[in-house]
Structure 1
């Protein structure tokens, strides 16, 4: 058996296992996991030599993925824009959809001399890390309530200069009232009765505080609206993520006193985040 055929046969077996487990992207996930184990780029993984210990580790990872453990929990990292963040049990895994919102915020502040940015519901800290990476002159402040998530955020933001605090966003950063240029948040937004519709990767592994938000999914969004109004300077901007089914209800939270309220789409063209300016 050639080295190449060994890797291909492993991948073929892995894809079948992942398909049986209901994983949405079995071939991609199998290649990414074998790439991770062998330490080679995904494009070269089908020709990679596979040692016996690597084979065993790979099959264990495939078994975990088939049980719908998030891919990022298995590898320990998640790619987000131009950075990688460490993730695992106890923290919400950042999604590609959130990268679009983060990019919008970066575009709004990158021309400012020393923009002040606040991230609410920071989770792993991926958004804040991206902002300081792409806008090094920014002064970024972040808050997260969940203790488990805070451990990951501290790890990811260590040495970045981000002012990271644990606590309820409702009372966060009173010393910044009226002085913030941008607020960004990916709050919990899933209605309590939508449990069955949530993918097992999120439902069974992401922390509950990062998922559920009242009967209509907008309880946290209403708090974000109040906190952002308090923090932002006149003309300051906000961006808040929501579920694709909330393309009308989420912007409505900001309709009464904000200007320029607009809903924006994600990479797949689905309603994903609302933006607005403080008049």
Structure 2
């Protein structure tokens, strides 16, 4: 990229070729999004103004972003944001990047709480706050609290709450999930949600470099368990409350039958498993008190 004059189209094509050689499957999309960010344009602008020259200052900024992406830094960290459930969330090093599959947890929760207005939700391992804030954005009278052990992640969560105008209904507290739940009775809430760590240590080798080398390990790995230890700890902590709140947890694509068996052995009530469009077990729902009746059965196994 040392020529005197580069057009938008030439620059994006050269960057996409470089990223392809680095093994990035979404090379053209990523190159376009980073160039649009540098220029302050939309992606559509790149195609309608493809023949416009890019000045040297913008090229230098773009070159640095491309180099970072070539080192397999997550695109969301480079751009500083990620869309989730139609909302824009600030993200960066130290916070888990919101995943599309986690939107299934939010969708299941919205269906579960349909017809309700005032309720209190607790988000365990809140990270960027995306789950809690997405729920609160759809229920204007609900309030919630997010826990996370990472002060860095909580800064993003608070910033996102403020940016979305939800900071008057969402609070974020630095707490270690397992230690806090094991120390005494949990808080009384109506709904508990969580995308807990569920990757087993022996599965780390199979992760994309963007995840394995850059995202916070504490938010990814169930280091002492089988991928379901956080799920069991959360369910065990809240099952003795009367009434028990609804508990909605993300699954790793499996584990529903194992948790059902364990839950039955505890003498507890019903567990539902909701599959995603590919048939993988994605959301676990533990039945709450009679105050919250689900209006229609979920598509669940």
TM range (shorter): 0.7 to 0.9
Deviation, structure 1 residue 245: 4.4
Bigger shift: residues 192-201 or 253-262: 253-262
Instruction: State whether structure 2 residue 187 is matched by structure 1 residue 176.
Output: yes
Instruction: State whether structure 2 residue 23 is matched by structure 1 residue 13.
Output: no
Deviation, structure 1 residue 98: 0.6
Instruction: State whether structure 2 residue 263 is matched by structure 1 residue 274.
Output: no
CA distance in 1, matches of 2:32, 2:73: 16
Alignment of 1:96-107 (within 5 A): 96-107=100-111
Whether the 8 Å contact between 2:121 and 2:143 is mirrored in structure 1 is yes
CA distance in 1, matches of 2:213, 2:127: 17
CA distance in 1, matches of 2:80, 2:208: 20
Aligned to 2:295: none
| TM-score of the superposed pair, with normalisation by structure 1 | 0.88
Aligned to 1:41: 42
CA distance in 1, matches of 2:27, 2:262: 38
SS at match of 1:239: strand
Structure label with greater radius of gyration: 2
Aligned to 1:90: 94
Aligned to 1:185: 194
Unmatched runs of 5 consecutive residues or more in structure 2? 1-5, 290-301
1:222-267, Cα deviation, whole Å (9 max, x unpaired): 2121233256734x42221122244544555544445442222335
Q: Structure 1 residues 258, 187: CA separation in 2 closer, same or farther (over 3 Å shift)?
A: same
Whether the 8 Å contact between 1:7 and 1:47 is mirrored in structure 2 is no
Alignment of 1:45-60 (within 5 A): 45-48=46-49, 49=52, 50-60=54-64
Aligned to 1:264: 274
Q: Structure 1 residues 241, 8: CA separation in 2 closer, same or farther (over 3 Å shift)?
A: same
Please point out which of 141, 162, 172 is paired with 1:164. 172
Aligned to 2:29: 28
Aligned to 2:236: 226
CA distance in 1, matches of 2:133, 2:242: 21
CA distance in 2, matches of 1:110, 1:121: 24
Bigger shift: residues 51-60 or 136-145: 51-60
CA distance in 2, matches of 1:182, 1:60: 44
| TM-score of the superposed pair, with normalisation by structure 2 | 0.82
SS at match of 1:278: coil
CA distance in 2, matches of 1:253, 1:229: 13
Whether the 8 Å contact between 2:185 and 2:237 is mirrored in structure 1 is no
Output the aligned Cα RMSD: 2.3
SS at match of 1:242: strand
Aligned to 2:76: 72
Deviation, structure 1 residue 198: 1.2
Q: Structure 1 residues 13, 192: CA separation in 2 closer, same or farther (over 3 Å shift)?
A: same
Alignment of 1:245-256 (within 5 A): 245-246=254-255, 248-256=257-265
Whether the 8 Å contact between 1:121 and 1:185 is mirrored in structure 2 is yes
Aligned length: 272
Instruction: State whether structure 2 residue 128 is matched by structure 1 residue 119.
Output: no
